[in-house]
Amino acid sequence: MRMTPTTPASVPDTAVLLVNLGTPDAPTAPAVRRYLAEFLHDHRVVALSRWLWCPILHFIILPLRGPKVAKKYAQIWMEGGSPLAVHTRDLAAAMQDRLPGLRVAWAMRYGNPSMAATVAALRADGVRRIVLLPLYPQYSTTTTASVTDVAERLAREAGDALRIDTIVDYHLDPAWIAAVADSIREHWAQHGRGERLLFSFHGIPQRLVDAGDPYRTQSQASVDAIVAALADVPGFEPAQAMLTFQSRFGREPWLQPYTDKTLEALAAQGLKRIDIVCPGFAVDCLETLEEITVENDALFRAAGGDALRYIPCLNAAPAHADALAALARRRVEENR
């Protein structure tokens, strides 16, 4: 965790805490099983009765999926750790450079560094207020709400000694929209434009949206805003953009259209070159670097396509750090 050097007398009492989903500590079956066990025990993620779910999880899912998922992580593992951890750390460091009067730290909802340990370290270093920024541009009960569950518990335990202000979404933040649009525009300038532009977001069960989760609405709003920002690109038409959802799990219906099925259908229609971007992910991770660029690329080619061209997440790009630092700074100033 990188923080700006300070003397005890000058340590800021306000911190910005970035929280991402999480990652195993290593690309091994035991590490993946530990990570998935924590992740899939969360009621926000799986709402089944624990009496029903825990035996399925521990005796079927973890033994089967642990080794398979570990192999996928091994394909994308970086020298400094998993891509999600490396890019989240680098984004926090870039934001620290832009927020010299504040502390910037990062943590994971599941796995390490944990939210509890990170908040404890900040408190021990004199922090009394935290601006919490879950790295999910679009709000969902399965992601952002789970982070706030932990934050609220930690705030209760601290009492008056700690205040936590949460930025619950930034799906229409103008600077973030511009950063995503610029990354697409830059990709097209370097590689040319595909026949379609797919926006692939992580899916959630349809029943959650039916119950009021705003995730699909916010995802569509983000896509609409990014597409509008690309209106100056010669020859690009909004109809060439499509919203899809990936990473479904289990048998119940998830948000549709599904990314993989859409790619198969586009290939069957004779389309050869598809650009795909994942603005629901702040940084690259297993779902983008393996699921999209390996699995879905192979699927698209097998169905008759020539090139599925992935446009990377914003990661620690200057425009991304600028946008999120400005977002955090505004929240600090609004609630002094």
Q: CATH number of 8-170+317-334: 3.40.640.10, 4.10.640.10, 3.40.50.1400, 2.70.98.30?
A: 3.40.50.1400
Residues forming a β-bridge with 20 = 108
252 is annotated as contributing to ligand binding:
no
Pairing mode of beta strands 163-166, 196-202? unpaired
Fold matches, 8-170+317-334 and 174-311: yes
Residue 329: how many other CB atoms lie within 10 Å = 17
Instruction: Provide the CATH topology of domain 174-311.
Output: Rossmann fold (3.40.50)
- Whether a cis peptide bond, with omega within 30° of 0, leads into 67 is no
Tell me the domain boundaries of the chain: 8-170+317-334, 174-311
List the structure tokens of 43: 């009621």
List the structure tokens of 233: 């690109």
Amino acid present at 329:
R
Amino acid present at 205:
P
Cα 288 to Cα 132, 280, 285, distances in angstroms: 24, 10, 5
Burial of 93 per CB tally in 10 Å (0-12, 13-18, 19+): middle
Residue among 259, 284, 286, 289 at smallest CA distance from 274: 259
- Predicted local distance difference test score (pLDDT) of residue 249: 87
List the structure tokens of 47: 């709402």
List the structure tokens of 301: 């080619």
Number of H helices, E strands in the chain: 13, 8
- Predicted TM-score (pTM) of this structure: 0.94
Q: Give 10-residue mean pLDDT values along the chain (336 residues).
A: 41 92 98 96 87 88 95 97 98 98 97 98 97 98 98 96 97 98 98 97 97 98 98 96 95 96 98 98 98 98 98 98 98 86
CA angle 203/209/210 to nearest 5° reads 140
Q: Which string of DSSP letters, residue by residue, matches 248-280?
A: --SSS-BSSSBHHHHHHHHHHTT--EEEEE-TT
What's the number of CA atoms in the CB half-sphere (13 Å) around residue 174?
A: 0
Cα 280 to Cα 107, 140, 291, 312, 314, distances in angstroms: 18, 11, 14, 12, 11
Pairing mode of beta strands 103-111, 163-166? unpaired
Element housing 89 (H / E): helix 83-98
287 is annotated as contributing to ligand binding:
yes
- Whether a cis peptide bond, with omega within 30° of 0, leads into 257 is yes
Residue holding tokens 């997440």?
313
